[in-house]
A = this chain, B = another copy of it.
Amino acid sequence: MKTVDVLLIHAHVLAMDEPLNQYEDGAVAVAGDSIVAVGPSAELEAQFEAAETIDCAGKVLMPGLVNAHTHVPMTLLRGLADDLRLDVWLMGYMMPVEREFVSPEFVRLGTQLACAEMIRNGITSFADMYYFEEDVAKATAEAGMRAVCSQTVLKFPSPDAGSYEESLALAREFIQRWKGHPLIVPSVAPHAPYTCTAEILAATAALAVEFDVPLHTHISETAQEVENMRHEQGMPVVPYVKKQGLLEAKVLAAHCVHIDEGEMRTLLHAGAGVAHNPSSNLKLASGIAPVPRMLETGLNVGIGTDGPASNNDLDMFEEMRLAAFVAKGGSGDPTALPAVTAVLMATRMGAQAMHIGDITGSLEVGKRADLILVDISPLHNAPRFRRDPHGAYAQLVYAAKSTDVSDLMVNGRWLMREHQLLTLSEPELLQAGQEYAGRIDTFLIQREQSLLSKLIAIGGASEEESFEIQIKAPIPERDTLVRALNQPEIKIVRNRHYREYDTYFHFPEPETSLLRFREDHFVDEKGNVTNVRSRLTLLGTHEHQLEQVVLSRVRYFAPATQSLRFYREYFRPDGEVEVEKDRLRYLVLFHETEFFINIDQVNRPELGCFVEIKTRTWSRKDARRKAELAKELMAYLGANVEQTTLDDYLDMVK
């Protein structure tokens, strides 16, 4: 009789090994951190004496689930913002909050919350990608879970680094410190091809190769990403990253929603693994990954939850089911991705995709003891049919719930027994998490109380405070006025012609500001549009009025890098007003003073033609002088000064 630490008997064992061995009355023997035997209960009971023998009748004993792609600290942002477009969600909520809140403390707490949830859901290993990954690793190791922890590198400043060189240095130190840890495999994560430069891709690959650690990245998550890559580089994403040397490393490629068969073969030949994220891909409407084709190609495809802010949970039972459902629904073939394949992806194949398949992912002698017990006695799992040996997998995938997981062991250590967590204190974590959520809530609520802070949150709006001198008058038509510019007192410095499309967002009381989204379409002499520029402007109220000319305003500008639709969803205005005009814009010198003269034809609404004279100054005294000059210029141009107005076109619409 050999002695072992733990002998689990009378379970329905699903080994998830190569021959897919099942033992209806099965057993697993664990010694130290490893599995020393898997087989029928009677055999193992005859062979081993155990410090602890556990009767697992009525339970499935299987390898722990492998979550092949996630961002665990984002448990703290779960439910912060949902049902939004990816860009609004990311640029409008996730990134501003991350900039403000993500710290080592945030990351540790978020990781602990995630570990507690994952242990409850039967997950023993996961592949993470976030900032301060050192702290993810620490919290994970303390909780006793296994993980590939990937330090993010990207071209923008991030919560943990002011530049990519800094985060690359962080990654190197992190890998050096953690390499060889029994639970943590350190790794580097160039975030995505579109958030990294070619140089970053090459440098992170070299780092991963130097230390022989996995490289974790996002590949082809959206059709837009592929389209941009084709447009900019003339090739899809996988060939591009290959060109940068990325595939020299042991790659874990998350998503791969929009890759073709050539790219699948390239990934296969590079030994890369794929992490499929069905919930996230559906929720963010990224598309349906061609998983059945990837599997046919021979790729190792694991399943991931993605971050809990875009899912919104860390439930691999849900992901297994969805992986099977989506493959069937997407292909029109109900035999696609059968239950056994979904379980395989969520266990052994996921571990292989994460490049830790040698130590975990199946119940095999010599592998680490990463295993779970699933209670199949609850009603929703009943009844049990034995006709089809694959029925056991179908029960797990199509009927079982994550809450059926009763016990979980990683590396030979129990992390949950009979639904009780052994390494984490849920009440404390919940309280600390809620305190963070309260602070984030307050931050966002304050931000949303003011258009200005919402604007600042998404693009660092630049503030411009000055006196603006403006005078405007209707004119019968534009040609006369254009000809009037050819007078000796006026010197034309430069002129431009463009069509201006303005969308004004207005907001419910008590908000007094207006937000203007302006697109300028520059027109050349042949009438062709040569360039388009967008700008977002927060328009304050008219604060001062000097005679009938001078206004003082507070304005904030932001370059409009996102679409009108983005801003509409982000700012949620009460309503909108559109103004379109054709503008001839002249910068002139009149009495050695610079003025802009806009000769406009307002087409939408049809307000007719106007001449507008504008200038700016920081000096109130100078403002008076310029106001006088502007009126003089107006008269000089032959416009009717009696008809001047301070109204914006927008005011005329109302």
B-contacting residues of A (Cβ < 8 Å)? Answer: 75-76, 78-86, 89, 113, 116-117, 120-121, 279, 281-285, 287-288, 311-315, 318, 321-322, 324-326, 328-329, 331-336, 338-339, 377, 379-380, 382-388, 390-391, 394-395, 398-399, 401-403, 426, 429-430, 433-434, 436-437, 440-441, 444-445, 448, 569
In the complex with contacts A311-B398, A382-B433, A387-B441 CB distance below 8 A = yes
Closest CB of chain B to A431's CB: distance in Å? Answer: 10
Query: How far, in angstroms, from A82 to B80 measured CA to CA in the complex?
Result: 37
A324: chain B residues within 8 A (beta carbon): 83, 283
Query: How far, in angstroms, from A83 to B426 measured CA to CA in the complex?
Result: 38
Q: Which 4 A-B pairs have the closest CB atoms?
A: A383-B437, A83-B338, A282-B329, A282-B325
User: Do B331 and A82 touch across chains, with their CB atoms under 8 A apart?
Assistant: no
User: Do A329 and B288 touch across chains, with their CB atoms under 8 A apart?
Assistant: yes
Closest CB of chain B to A291's CB: distance in Å? Answer: 14
Query: How far, in angstroms, from A403 to B113 measured CA to CA in the complex?
Result: 19
User: Do B334 and A283 touch across chains, with their CB atoms under 8 A apart?
Assistant: yes
Query: How far, in angstroms, from A331 to B116 measured CA to CA in the complex?
Result: 35
In the complex with contacts A82-B394, A387-B445, A117-B379 CB distance below 8 A = yes
Query: How far, in angstroms, from A312 to B336 measured CA to CA in the complex?
Result: 17
Query: How far, in angstroms, from A573 to B287 measured CA to CA in the complex?
Result: 36
Known pairs A83-B394, A311-B398, A382-B437; list 11 more (Cβ under 8 Å): A81-B388, A82-B398, A83-B324, A282-B329, A283-B325, A285-B328, A287-B329, A312-B395, A326-B329, A382-B430, A383-B430
Closest CB of chain B to A66's CB: distance in Å? Answer: 19
User: Do B401 and A402 touch across chains, with their CB atoms under 8 A apart?
Assistant: yes
User: Do B329 and A437 touch across chains, with their CB atoms under 8 A apart?
Assistant: no
Closest CB of chain B to A285's CB: distance in Å? Answer: 4
Identify 21 residue pairs between A and B in the complex whose beta-carbon atoms are under 8 Å apart, listed by A's number: A75-B382, A78-B383, A78-B399, A82-B398, A83-B324, A83-B338, A117-B380, A121-B380, A282-B326, A283-B329, A283-B334, A284-B328, A285-B329, A285-B332, A287-B332, A312-B394, A326-B329, A377-B430, A382-B434, A382-B437, A383-B437
A78: chain B residues within 8 A (beta carbon): 382-383, 399
Query: How far, in angstroms, from A324 to B398 measured CA to CA in the complex?
Result: 19
A interface: dominant SS = helix
A321: chain B residues within 8 A (beta carbon): 318
User: Do B379 and A79 touch across chains, with their CB atoms under 8 A apart?
Assistant: no
User: Do A285 and B334 touch across chains, with their CB atoms under 8 A apart?
Assistant: yes
A313: chain B residues within 8 A (beta carbon): 380, 398-399
Closest CB of chain B to A329's CB: distance in Å? Answer: 4
User: Do B382 and A113 touch across chains, with their CB atoms under 8 A apart?
Assistant: yes
Closest CB of chain B to A391's CB: distance in Å? Answer: 6
In the complex with contacts A84-B335, A287-B332, A334-B84, A79-B434 CB distance below 8 A = no
User: Do B283 and A398 touch across chains, with their CB atoms under 8 A apart?
Assistant: yes
User: Do A338 and B82 touch across chains, with their CB atoms under 8 A apart?
Assistant: yes
Query: How far, in angstroms, from A391 to B93 measured CA to CA in the complex?
Result: 14
> In this complex, what residue of B is CB-closest to A429?
B379
Query: How far, in angstroms, from A86 to B85 measured CA to CA in the complex?
Result: 35
In the complex with contacts A282-B326, A325-B283, A398-B334 CB distance below 8 A = no
Query: How far, in angstroms, from A426 to B78 measured CA to CA in the complex?
Result: 35
User: Do B120 and A394 touch across chains, with their CB atoms under 8 A apart?
Assistant: no
User: Do A79 and B285 touch across chains, with their CB atoms under 8 A apart?
Assistant: no
In the complex with contacts A120-B379, A285-B329, A331-B285, A79-B312 CB distance below 8 A = no
Query: How far, in angstroms, from A78 to B335 measured CA to CA in the complex?
Result: 17
> In this complex, what residue of B is CB-closest to A403?
B403
A399: chain B residues within 8 A (beta carbon): 78-79, 312-313
A569: chain B residues within 8 A (beta carbon): 335
> In this complex, what residue of B is CB-closest to A404?
B403
In the complex with contacts A402-B401, A403-B401, A385-B441 CB distance below 8 A = yes
User: Do A426 and B334 touch across chains, with their CB atoms under 8 A apart?
Assistant: no
User: Do A328 and B282 touch across chains, with their CB atoms under 8 A apart?
Assistant: yes
